[in-house]
Structure 1
Amino acid sequence: MLYVAFSGLAASGCLTQKQVDAQIDAKLRQQQAAMDARVRAQIADALYSYPQRQRPAPDPGSATEVPLGTVIAFAGPIEDGIPEGYLPCDGRRLKITDYRALFDAIGWTYGYGGGAPNRDYFSLPDYRGRFVRGVDGASGNDPDVAGRVDRDGAPVGDRVGSLQGDEVRSHKHPIMDPGHLHRFVEQAQGGPNTYDSGDERGVHGMPQRETTQSVTGIQIDGYGGNETRPKNVAAYFLIRAE
């Protein structure tokens, strides 16, 4: 129909046959380009959406693709159960033969599972009531890294699983003195006379001076609670165990 329409224009003398052929060719190329663009868009859409349609909906409680030994913060209660494949980071001891893969991941980093070394057990980290800090790794961000210890109090330095006690950074408290006087008693021949420091009155006889106690009004009050801490919110730390 496109060729017939343009041919009619040529037959009426409006266009030459060569002009008709050129316009038909241009129109066909335009239509082909539009069709190619639609086809490419349809193919791209099909390629993108196909895996999405085939992939099952993720299970929020699944431990799939999370490395063993990974610790996560869980925002829900655990009294009625925790996500499958996880255990709470409460320092419990586990039998190596029951959790061989987890032991291969963390080893005895957090203890042998008791007071004395026991090669049949290992311990989970105990993060209850604690903040987690990244290993310094020679960055200099932990200025007291040399004083870090293991769970038994032995120095271990910059090592994963090491502990560090709470501390307040060294600082100063300025004191503003509003001014005060020291009184002294002069024992002279005429009897005792009391003067304030800075008094320019003369002294008669053979004085013996003693300063008396004076309250300055300066004091530093204690302030604070049971620990030094930032603002925080509580969550359960869980470790991928199997």
Structure 2
Amino acid sequence: MSSKRLINQLSIPPGTLVAFAGHESAIPEGWLLCNGRYLSVDDERFQNLFTAIGYTWGGNREKGFRLPDLDGYFLRGVTVDTTRDYGLAERFKVGEDGEKIDASGVGSYQLDATALPRSRVFLGGTSTAGSHSHAEQESRFPNPDEYGTLASGGVPSKRRVNTSESGNHVHSVFINRGGDRETRPANVAVYYIIKM
């Protein structure tokens, strides 16, 4: 018996998601790629799947119901606990026309985010250093002659001077470069497929 027939005969409920390690062309019969396409509500082939997921992932009677679009996404268990999902309020679903709708639960998406390092070394400011001044180097030139030019052989001298104190203050630090485009764990790519 072929692997396609065997996996199709297993007692797997419609709407079940599976990570598939084969090529897209080898997806077993009775399974669909989770690529966000719309399926007809009236197509008998998809009745069991529609009963399981309905319009959870978008769509309407006219356009059909939408498959999950899992291209490039990690999966995360549904929770209502904000201590397990700090960005719970930022979740959204895809509306009938592809628009974003604020919503959580199954079928909701969440964009990437980056937490602050535990060491808190990139907060963008220095600690209070108290009242202090800063040293500068000042160039002083010999007195010019009556024509406004330096006297022959005149060499400028240099001395260190301090700025006036400005009381207790801090300095801002701006970090405008560095880092990668996203925060992610080590990973491998697979196809997500859904049972019809």
Superposition TM-score tier, normalisation by shorter sequence: 0.5 to 0.7
Instruction: Provide the residue aligned with 1:224 in structure 2.
Output: 179
- The structure that is strand-richer by fraction is 2
Q: Deviations over 1:145-188 (max 9, x none)?
A: 011011222211x3111111111113443699xxxx73143879
Structure 1 residue 225 displacement after superposition: 2.8
User: Which is bigger in relative contact order (C-alpha 8 A, separation at least 6)?
Assistant: 2
Deviation at 1:197, TM superposition (A): 4.8
Q: Note closer, same or farther for the CA distance 1:219–1:107 as it changes in structure 2 (3 Å cut).
A: closer
Look up the match of 1:104: 51
* Aligned residues: CA RMSD: 3.6
1:173 aligns with 2:116: no
Match of 2:170 in 1: none
Please say if 1:127 is aligned against 2:42: no
- In structure 2, runs of 5+ residues without a counterpart are 127-133, 145-155, 165-172
Structure 1, unmatched stretches of 5+, are 1-55, 199-208, 211-217
Q: In structure 1, which of residues 47, 63, 66 is the aligned counterpart of residue 12 of structure 2? A: 66
The structural deviation recorded for 1:221 is 7.9
Corresponding residue SS for 1:101: helix
Match of 2:36 among 82, 91, 95: 91
In the other structure, the counterpart of 1:240 is 195
Query: Which has more radius of gyration?
Result: 1
Query: 2:159: which partner in 1?
Result: 195
> Cα–Cα, structure 1 residues 101 and 155, in superposed 2: closer, same or farther, change >3 Å?
same
**Does the alignment pair 1:154 with 2:93?**
no
Number of aligned pairs? 159
For 1:136, the aligned partner's letter is: T
Instruction: Give a deviation string over 1:68-122, Cα, whole Å, max 9, x none.
Output: 000000111122x31111000000100011112211110111111xxxx444510
Contact 1:63 1:240 in 2 (8 A): no
